[in-house]
Structure 1
C-alpha cells in the first residue's frame, strides 16, 4: 500500500484536546497535519500532548502564519481543497477525494471564516446528522469520520 499523501488542515483551532486527537489520527494514517495560526493554545501545553498521548512527537506538523501564507507557499489546486462545515451544500460522501487533497476544518466556536468559503461553495461539505437536536459535533470526531471516508480507497474500503 502506498503512503497516504492527504493533508489535514485546521484553521485557527482553539481547543488543544481536539488538535491532539486529530494529530494522533494523522500519525496512525501517516498524514500531515497543517495548522493555520493563530492557535487558541500553545503547542507546548500538556493538554495537546495528553490528547495525542505519546504520539504527538511523531506528528508530521506544519504551521502557517495565515490562510494567505498557506495558499502562497503550498499553491494547492482548487479541486484538491475540501472544506467541511455544518452547512455545506454536499455530503462528505459525495466527492471522489483527491489522494493529494487537503481536508480543511475551522475552529470549534465559529467554523471556517466566510472569506475562505466565498466562491468555493461547491467545495464545502457537511457530515449528515439525523437529529435536529444536535447543532454540531466535536471537531475531532468530525475530522476522524471525514478522514476515514476520504481515505476509503487507500485503506481498502
Structure 2
C-alpha cells in the first residue's frame, strides 16, 4: 500500500540482508522502513500524525474508524501486543478486529493486511 514501516526495538527477528533473503523477502529493498529504540521515540517521531492502535483490548472495531490519508496504524507483537501505557495514552484511538474470545491473538501479517486495506478502501484506493 506504499506505507512506511516503523519497527520498535527490541525486535523478535533480524533485519540483516541474509536473513531477509532467506525468508524470501526479495522485495525488501523497495520497502520504506525505519527502526526506533522504543515506543516513546516512535510517538515523538510521529507527532502531528493521527495514530490508530490495534489491540484486542479495544472497545471499537476497525470498521467504526474513519481513516484518512496520513494516518498511522500501530501494531504490537503477536505474543505481547502493545504496551499498556501506550494503549492508555491513546485510548480513544484503539481499535480491534473481531475475534473469538478463546483466541489469544491474530496473525500479525493478516491483521496488518486487513486493517491497511480497510483504510485504503475508505479513502478510495492507493492513488
Give the shorter-chain TM-score range: 0.7 to 0.9
User: 1:1-157 maps to which residues of 2 (within 5 A)?
Assistant: 29-44=1-16, 46-51=18-23, 53-77=25-49, 80-129=50-99, 131-152=100-121, 153-155=123-125
Contact 2:55–2:82, Cα closer than 8 Å, also in 1: yes
3-state SS of the aligned residue for 1:125? strand
Residues 46-65 of structure 1, C-alpha deviations (whole Å, 9 max, x = no match): 55445462111111011111
Over aligned residue pairs, what C-alpha RMSD do you find?
2.0
- Indicate how the Cα distance of structure 1 residues 127 and 100 shifts in structure 2: closer, same or farther if over 3 A, else same: same
If the length of structure 2 is used for normalisation, what is the TM-score?
0.86
Runs of 4+, deviation exceeding 6 Å:
none
3-state SS of the aligned residue for 2:33? strand
Structure 1 unmatched ranges of 5 or more: 1-28
Contact 1:89–1:122, Cα closer than 8 Å, also in 2: no
Q: How far apart in 1 are the matches of 2:6 and 2:18? A: 20
